[in-house]
Structure 1
Amino acid sequence: MALSSLLILLFFVFFILFVDGQYLDDQKKLLLELKSEFKFNSSNPNSFVNWNETSDCCEWNNVGCNDSGHVISLDLTSGSISGIIGESSALFQLTYLLSLYLPRNDFTGEIPNQFHRLPNLKHLDLSSSGFVGPFPSTLANLTELVYLDLSANFLTGSIPSFHNCKNLKWIGLALTNLSGSLSHLHFQGLTNLSVLDLSYNSLNGTIPRHLFVLPSMEALFLSNNQFNGPIKEISIVDHSTLNG
């Protein structure tokens, strides 16, 4: 190999290592900033136990990275974490996130309106975590979303339309105190939706017929609401797998 070719190869290797190192440092900085935003039980392995300056952030508890060193998953389920997820949280700079699991914690305040800054998000679980306030309508802008669970929080207002979230398979909104009526637009075109749980809310009006004809629907839970009136022209013949 000619000397010039070898030098070029070494340059590219060095450049790639340098860039990868920058990504890791950037991701570590954001995660440590996120850690500083909350209180947590340092003995709980589901929280931020081994998040520190000296180790590779991709080897920390509850963190998953891709081959380039970008954080793509956080699973802090039952992490004994408390505090507020602010609108300017470092969380929303982790733009490569695919999965975010924060259920069964002790957050306070509202679910922030900044989740649209995580455009690659596929799985989002904020269930049973103490959130209050209005339903964040910007969640309906997450077009890659497959799984959404906000159940067992104390939210207010009505459900936004999810018609832009064509990949959704699971929506859990039980026990969230939601009110208002449902229209045919709320879940229009969600041909992949297999589970929809709207039980134990204060939803009213009639139950839209289209919920029963979504082609992939397997489980539909609508109990303990304030629905009224007839449901017209529904045939369950083609939906032998539908439960609820």
Structure 2
Amino acid sequence: MSSLGYFFAINIAFVSGQCQSDQQTLLLQLKSSLTFDPSSSVKLMQWRQSTDCCDWSGVDCDEAGHVIGLDLSTESISGGIENAASLFSLHYLRSLNLARTSFNGTQIPSKLANISSLTYLNLSDAGFAGHIPLQISSMARLVALDFSFNQFSGSISSIRWEHLLNLVYAVLSDNSLNGSIPRFSNASSSALDTLDLSGNRLRGSIPVSVFELKKLTSLLLSSNNLHGTVQLDKILNLGNLAKLDLSYNSLAVDESSRNYSFSPMLELLNLASCKLREIPNLKNQSQLQYLYLSENQISREIPNWIWRVSVVGLHCLNLSHNLLVGFQGPYSIPALRFIDLSSHQLRGNIHQLPNNLIYIDFSNNNFTSSIPADTGNFMPRLRYFCAANNGLTGIIPASLCNATTLSLLDLSNNSFMKKSDAFLF
């Protein structure tokens, strides 16, 4: 079962019984200890002594009336939870969601680890800061942990990952965590399905043990300070991989070996700014939807197999800022939504484009054809069209006026006719 499927399974397993009096007392004490705006509160303002706590918004109970789920996400809570002693006394609690609150730079209290029954902990975008307390490592039953979009700092090794043997979903993206990626012990038996450490300040190389996490479906390490060389054939060990993002580090991805083959279940591949010299071998990909290979050193022609690489259909293709010179024929562009081929040396004609495109960027190339006359007639969702700094000729098609969803059109620095009966500025 995927991590998302597991979370749904947690929620549907909640069966409310009649609330135990001690549980109701703890929740009312929790409410009184929290600072929140009553005018924008949706859940906490419904908590009243006169009603059964198992019927309160954001509260889930088991059949015995114990509180096992608490969801205060998007509530207008500010301050912190350091003094919320009653929260740490909810010993039956399995799921705690404080996402998208406003704790304004306060730290996670170490006493949170007292809730040893927790399997799901979501503190994303909650305004927490400081170090992640070491005591989190003692929460051995945790299956899912989301600390993304906070202001956490300090070493990522403050979590002793070797103690979290049941962890399936680990997301700590978009913080200020530093240090090196931990070396996972017992990697071959690890339960990890999702590891997202992107958008931090991690440094060093990617440890070999990461590529031994055989159950991984998502490995997201973008926008850090990682360095070293990653051999694509090492990723062969990740046979269940669906999402791989190593972009915007100081990594060099070596695709020179012809013996590698990505998992056929790959849906997203982002190797932007990874010093690639060739487009990786993706011919066996039937599920690929998002491919980002921008800001590399890829030269020669765009291979024609790339347009038919996916059975489900490639949605986004970004090959911008490389050294490509043309298109291997024969080819036709499939039903993409996003295509960015800007900043190359591409030459020749702009062919008829698929009708469900939302974003097109062909700028800073050497295209010399005219734009097909009916381009604007069959693109009902087009929002962005940029073909600036080319050698395009002819007239600007009047049909572009029919692209009513278009919010940006940039055709500057081309060789269009200055006046046209079909289109006037």
Same fold (TM over 0.5): yes
SS of the residue corresponding to residue 33 of structure 1 reads helix
Match of 1:235 in 2: 234
CA distance in 2, matches of 1:101, 1:175: 18
Q: Distance in 1 between matches of 2:233 and 2:206?
A: 11
Are 2:135 and 1:138 equivalent residues in the alignment? yes
Q: What is residue 109 of structure 2 aligned with on the other side? A: 112
Q: Please report the TM-score for the alignment, with normalisation by the length of structure 1.
A: 0.84
Cα deviation, residue 68, structure 1? 1.3
Where does residue 48 of structure 2 map in the other structure?
Answer: 52
C-alpha distance in structure 2 between counterparts of 1:47 and 1:187, whole Å: 42
**8 Å Cα contact 1:125/1:150 also seen in 2:** yes
**Corresponding residue number in structure 1 for 2:215:** 216
Aligned mates of 2:189, 2:69 — CA distance in 1: 25
Relative to structure 1, the CA distance from residue 150 to residue 190 in structure 2 (aligned partners, 3 Å threshold; closer, same or farther) is: farther
SS at match of 2:210: helix
| 1:238 shift after superposition | 3.8
Structural mapping, 1:9-48, within 5 Å: 24-44=20-40, 46-48=42-44
C-alpha change, 1:88 and 1:62, in structure 2 (3 Å) is closer
Q: Deviations over 1:3-29 (max 9, x none)?
A: xxxxxxxxxxxxxxxxx99x7221111
Distance 1:148 1:122 in 2: 8
Alpha-carbon distance, 1:42 to partner: 2.9
Determine the C-alpha separation between the residues in 1 that align with 2:225 and 2:185.
18
Are the aligned partners of 1:148 and 1:170 in contact in 2 as well (CA < 8 Å)? Answer: yes
Match of 2:126 in 1: 129
Q: 1:195 to 1:185 in 2, by over 3 A?
A: closer
**Separation in structure 2 between the aligned mates of residue 204 and residue 46 of structure 1, nearest angstrom:** 42
| Structure with more helix by fraction | 1
In the alignment, structure 1 residue 77 sits paired with structure 2 residue 76: no
CA distance in 2, matches of 1:208, 1:200: 18
1:172-211 mapped onto 2 (5 Å cutoff): 172-185=171-184, 188=187, 191-211=190-210
Distance (whole Å) between structure 1 residues aligned to residue 64 and residue 71 of structure 2: 19
Q: How far is 1:164 from its partner? A: 1.3
Is 1:86 aligned to residue 82 of structure 2? yes
Q: Which amino acid aligns with 1:194?
A: D
Which has the larger Rg? 2
TM-score by length of 2: 0.50
Structure 1 stretch 136-145 or stretch 226-235: which is displaced more? 226-235
Give the Å deviation of 1:88.
Answer: 5.5
Evaluate the alpha carbon distance shift between residue 92 and residue 208 of structure 1 in structure 2; reply closer, same or farther with a 3 A threshold: same
> Do 1:126 and 1:150's aligned partners in 2 also have CA atoms closer than 8 Å?
yes
Partner SS, residue 130 of structure 2: strand
* One-letter amino acid of the structure 2 residue matched with residue 31 of structure 1: L
2:149 match: 152
Q: 1:9-60 CA distances to partner (integer Å, 9 max, x unpaired)? A: xxxxxxxxxxx99x72211111011101222233546430211111111111
Asked whether the 8 Å contact 1:73–1:97 carries over to 2, the reply is yes
CA separation of 1:161 and 1:231: change in aligned 2, threshold 3 A = farther
Aligned to 2:265: none
Quick check: 1:162–1:187 contact (8 Å CA) kept in 2? no
What root-mean-square deviation, in Å, do the aligned CA atoms of Structure 1 and Structure 2 show?
Answer: 2.2
Tell me if the contact between 1:195 and 1:217 (Cα under 8 Å) persists in the aligned partners: yes
For the residue of structure 2 that corresponds to 1:237, the secondary structure is: helix
Following TM superposition, by how much is the alpha carbon of 1:231 offset from its aligned partner in structure 2, in angstroms? 4.3
Identity %: 37
Q: Which has the higher contact order (CA 8 A, sep 6+)?
A: 1
Q: Letter of the aligned partner of 1:42 in structure 2?
A: P
Aligned counterpart, 1:14: none
Number of matched pairs: 224
Q: Residue 85 of structure 2 aligns to which amino acid in structure 1?
A: S
**Contact in 2 for aligned 1:163/1:189 (Cα 8 Å):** no
Distance 1:49 1:88, change over 3 A: closer
**Cα distance in structure 2, aligned partners of 1:208 and 1:234:** 15
Post-superposition Cα deviations, 1:168-219, rounded to whole Å, max 9, x if no partner, equal: 1100100111001123147856621010100010011111111112011011
SS at match of 1:163: helix
Q: Which runs of 5+ in 2 are unaligned?
A: 1-16, 245-425
Q: Counterpart in 1 of 2:97?
A: 101
CA apart distance, 1:131: 0.6
Alignment CA distance shift 1:181-1:237 (3 Å): closer
Task: Tell me if 1:167 matches 2:163.
Answer: no
Instruction: Structure 1 unaligned segments of length 5 or more: list them.
Output: 1-19
